Amino acid sequence: MSHTVRFEDKGLIAYKECWDYQLSLFQEMVERKKWNGNNPDFPKATESTLIFCSHPHVYTLGKSGKEENLLLKKSELSLHGAEFYHINRGGDITYHGPGQVVGYPIFDLDFFFHDIHLFIEKLEDAIIGTLAHYGIVAGRGPKGFTGVWVDWENPVKARKICAFGMHTSRWVTMHGFALNVNTDLSYYRHIVPCGIDDRGITSMQQELGRAVDEEEVKTLLRSEILSQLAIQAFS
C-alpha cells in the first residue's frame, strides 16, 4: 500500500478553522483505514499531513484539564482579543498566539511505529535539535512534565518553551505542539499553563534577547522532523 507525507504551511489561521480542517483529515484517514481493513485486496493509498501554522490569541483546554486553570472570566476574553475552546487532545490548558510555530501532525502511525510516546519523543527531539541551531540548550521536561524545556534539571529555573498535546485513534494522530518563537508571553498570565503553577514559560526571543526569523525556524524544524521520522521528503 502506498503512503506519502504532505506538508502544509497555513500561516496565521483562526484556531477553529484549522481545528475543523485537522478533524476532516483525521476522519478521512480513519475511514480509509477502516475501508482497507475490510477490503485488503483493494487498499486505498493513505497520506499523512504535517501542518505548520500560528493562531490569533486563543486558549485551549484538553479533555483532562481543569477549567479553573483559565484565570479569566469568559466574558473577559474579548478584552484581550482571545478565544477559548475545550478540545479533545490530552493535557490541560495552553495558549496559542502570533509568534508561535504550531505543528499539527495528522499521521498514520502504521507507517512509522505503534508507540505514541516514541512518536512524541521524536517530535521533541526535532524541536530540541532546532533550538540547538540557535545555541539554546533544551531537553524533555522533568519527570511528569510534558514538552520541551530550558534548564529542565533545575526546579527553580525550569521554563517551558514548547508545549505538547495529542489525540490518537486507530493509530492516527492529531493536535500536536506549539513552539514559542516570538510569542507575547504576557498571555500566559491569564492561565495556569498546562496546569503547572510552579514553573516558568519562555520563548526563543526571550532566551536570545532578540526577535527570531520564524520562517527560518520552520525550515530548520521541517528538516529535523524529516530526519527524526526517517521521512525521505514531503510530497
Q: Which residues are catalytic?
A: 194
Beta carbons of 137 and 148 less than 8 angstroms apart: no
Distance CA 59, CA 82 (A): 7
b/e for 52-90, b at 16 or more Cβ within 10 A? bbbbebbbbbbeebeeebbebeeeebeeeebbbeebebb
Which residues partner with 95 through β-bridges?
59
Beta carbons of 202 and 180 less than 8 angstroms apart: yes
Distance CA 201, CA 183 (A): 10
Which amino acid appears at position 184 of this protein?
D
Which amino acid appears at position 107 of this protein?
F
